[in-house]
Amino acid sequence: MTLSGQGLSVQGLSVQGLGKSFNGRTVLEGVDFSVAAGELVAFLGANGSGKSTTLRCVMGIASPDSGSISIDGAALETLQGRDLQQARQRMAMIFQKIHLVPRRTALDNVCAGALARIPTVRSLSPLLFPADVQQEALDCLDRVGLADRAFDRVGRLSGGQQQRVAVARALCQRADVVLADEPVSALDPRAAEQVMALLRELAHSEGLAVAAVLHQPDLALRYADRSIGLLQGSMTFNLPSTEVTADHLDTLYAPDRDVSDRDVSVRTPSADRTTAA
Amino acid sequence: MTPRTLTPAAARRETTSTPRVALVRPKKPLRWITTAAVAAAVVGLHAVAIEGTDFKPELLVDGWKGMAAFIGDAFPPDLSWEKTLKPGLEATLVTLWIGLLGTTLSVPFALLLAALAAENTSPHRLVYQAARAILSFFRAVPDIVFALIFVTAVGLGPFAGVLALICHNTGVMGKLWAESMEEIDAGPQEALRTAGANRIQQVANATLPMVVPQFVGLLLYRFDVNVRSSLVLGLVGAGGIGLLINQSIKSFQFDSMLTHILIVLVLIIVVDQFSAWIRRRLAA
Ligand SMILES: Nc1ncnc2c1ncn2[C@@H]1O[C@H](COP(=O)(O)OP(=O)(O)OP(=O)(O)O)[C@@H](O)[C@H]1O
Ligand SMILES: [Mg+2]
């Protein structure tokens, strides 16, 4: 066993002791995991188990109450200002709702991933984007297999193609950690397979660290190198996908899991009186 | 396959005979009182308003003859080219130009103020409040008041009308645009923020391109309104067909007045059809 922590320099993302609560309700507790460069990791868990919150804390969209996040061994909490910003830009997020601008072309949307490298005046309109950024964006589109659709409006592409454009935008950001929150939940089965295959390829062939929240365990087990189970804000397993069993999955989605949550006392006091009568 | 005695649906039906949860709507005793109070308030307000506006329909009945004479004088409309039609058409064009410039020249100001006055694009809370206040001011002052002010500054004529419309339209369009930006899906903007884009970059590459259709729709709507406003501005000396209508009434040339009003009618229909056509093309 190696000691986790400072001394160990992991290529990729490493998260330790992540905790988060909303209004006094603990949503995440002691979440530890790492996503190595070249690896695709799947997050599994029921609705409300904290998968999105985990990704949002790592991305800095939500601020965690506790825990340490490192990229290539450098802990984000030790960085400040410009360095912190640059470290954060090495992580990109893919969303279930894709979040592209439908009226703009695929190429212009992908260029937007590079905005942090473009001077503000040259980012006011796609016509002003530097030529090298546009070339790089086209290369990114080529990597997701959509170079031929570069000048189509995103709104005219299919859901699966749109999600691949979003992946290309993450590539154009030059991210080496990609976090995807339910990237295939809005896609049909075939498009879902394509996007999962793309994410795996980016990890395996291009050495990115990729983590994806999935609601389909079979996709996770077939594509991900490792799967992590979250249950009410805590990790229940973190195993190579080949070692994940049906029992593991059952604990995550067991039907009686949230009986305590459910409001069984739907009846109003007056309703009780009528049933008693 | 396990044999089942009951299908799930049948099982569910079975349980409905003895409800597990009784359906009893919570009683809201205040509902009736509230309704009655609101009704009473509305009736009371109307009574006061009728009193306050000297609202007397019988006057209309008595004055029927005067109105009939007025309308009789207006028929047939005066269609003489030199005296009525030509000046009417020229003045109508001026009215159209006032409406056009009043709309387009207010775009830069409205755009800037809208971006500062929308919660999701404003750089700071104080800027947001200030921009809202400025927009409220320009919206609250009627264009006709602006016209009177500008007439004293630049003299009678269409230029005063253009300036007045720019001011008022900046207030209205800025507010409408700010609201449509606040209603837009925040996702793309958040995506660019996580990619490290600064605020201006987020607005230019996510928020603004997302709201273009709404912006153009509102712009056309305001053009439509402004053309009609510029008519009214003509009545207070800001040029255009409104001025001619005013003059023909004052000189009792009701047949010329009718011609001018008919020209205005055509103008309004054309502008309306034009905006509808653009909006259709935009939606497609
Ligand atoms: N901004 C917030 N304010 C309050 N509670 C929140 C907030 N965001 C998330 N939560 C709560 O945190 C818990 C975990 O939410 P999260 O969105 O991370 O779940 P999830 O695993 O992504 O679920 P799903 O599969 O439905 O997407 C939920 O109980 C949710 O209500
Ligand atoms: Mg989620």
* Domains detected in chain A: 1-90+177-184+192-267 (3.40.50.300), 93-175 (3.40.50.300)
**What is the spatial distance between Cα A178 and Cα B209, in angstroms, rounded to a whole number?**
26
Which percentage of chain B shows pLDDT scores above 90?
50
Q: Are A138 and A145 in contact (CB under 8 A)?
A: no
- Residue with the two structure tokens 């602006």: B146
B271: helix, strand or coil:
helix
Please report the DSSP string for A165-212 in residue order.
HHHHHHHHTT-SEEEEESTTTTS-HHHHHHHHHHHHHHHHHH--EEEE
Q: Residue A76: count other Cβ atoms within 10 Å of its Cβ.
A: 17
Residues of B in contact with A108 (CB under 8 A): 205
| B46 phi and psi angles, rounded to 5 deg | -65, -40
Provide the pairing of β-strand A66-71 with A74-75. Answer: antiparallel
Which residues does chain B have within 8 Å of residue A275's beta carbon, measured at their own beta carbons?
A: 22
**CB contact at 8 A, A271 and B24:** yes
| Residue of B188, B190, B198 with shortest CB distance to A101 | B188
Helix orientation angle between B125-140 and B158-183, rounded to the nearest 10 degrees: 140
What pLDDT does residue B281 have?
A: 85
Q: pLDDT digit string (tens) for B11-54?
A: 555 555 667 788 887 777 778 888 999 999 999 999 999 999 98
Atom 7 in ligand 1: residue holding the nearest Cα: A22
A82, A88, A99, best to mutate vs chain B, most B CBs in 10 Å: A99
Enter the ipTM.
Answer: 0.84
Mean pLDDT for chain B overall: 87
Q: Give the other-Cβ count within 10 Å of B23's Cβ.
A: 8
pLDDT recorded at residue B16:
56
Distances (CA, A) of A155 to A101, A159, A181: 8, 9, 21
Per the prediction, chain A carries an average pLDDT of: 88
The pair of structure tokens assigned to B31 is 């509902």
Helix (H) or strand (E) holding B170: helix B158-183
Closest Cα partner for B262 from B66, B64, B74? Answer: B74
The stretch B63-72 carries a mean pLDDT of: 81
User: How far apart are the CA of A184 and the centre of ligand 2, in A?
Assistant: 12
Residue from A187, A185, A209, A186 nearest A199 by CA: A209
Backbone angles phi, psi at A28, to 5 degrees: -135, 140
Tell me if A113 and B21 make a contact (CB, 8 A cut-off): no
* Axis crossing angle, helix B254-283 with helix B86-104, rounded to the nearest 10: 40
B191 near A CB under 8 A:
yes
Which of A108, A170, A274 is nearest residue B22 as measured by Cβ atoms?
A274
What is the tens place of the pLDDT at every residue in B168-216?
A: 999 999 999 999 999 999 999 999 999 999 999 999 999 999 999 899 9
Nearest to B96 by CA among B266, B280, B250, B214: B266
> Which residues are close to ligand 2, an ion, with C-beta < 5 A?
A 52
B124 touches chain A (CB under 8 A): no
Residue scoring higher pLDDT (B248 or A15): A15
d(CA A197, CA A191): 10
Of A19, A20, A42, the C-alpha closest to A32 is A19
Distance CA(A61)–CA(A238), nearest Å, equals 24
Q: Which residue has the higher pLDDT, A90 or B62?
A: A90
- Residue A46 Cα: closest atom of ligand 1: 25
Instruction: Say yes or no: CB of residue A52 within 6 Å of ligand 1.
Output: yes
pTM over 0.80: no
Name the pairing type of β-strands A40-45 and A209-213.
parallel
Architecture field, domain B78-283 = Orthogonal Bundle (1.10)
Strand order in the sheet with A25-36: A25-36, A12-22, A66-71, A74-75
Q: Cα A247 to chain center, whole Å?
A: 25
Q: Which parts of B60-170 are beta strand (E)? A: none
Domain boundaries, chain B: 78-283
CA A211 to centroid of ligand 1, rounded, Å: 18
- Interface contact B200-A120, CB threshold 8 A: yes
Instruction: Using CB atoms, pick whichever of A61, A85, A99 lies closest to residue B196.
Output: A85
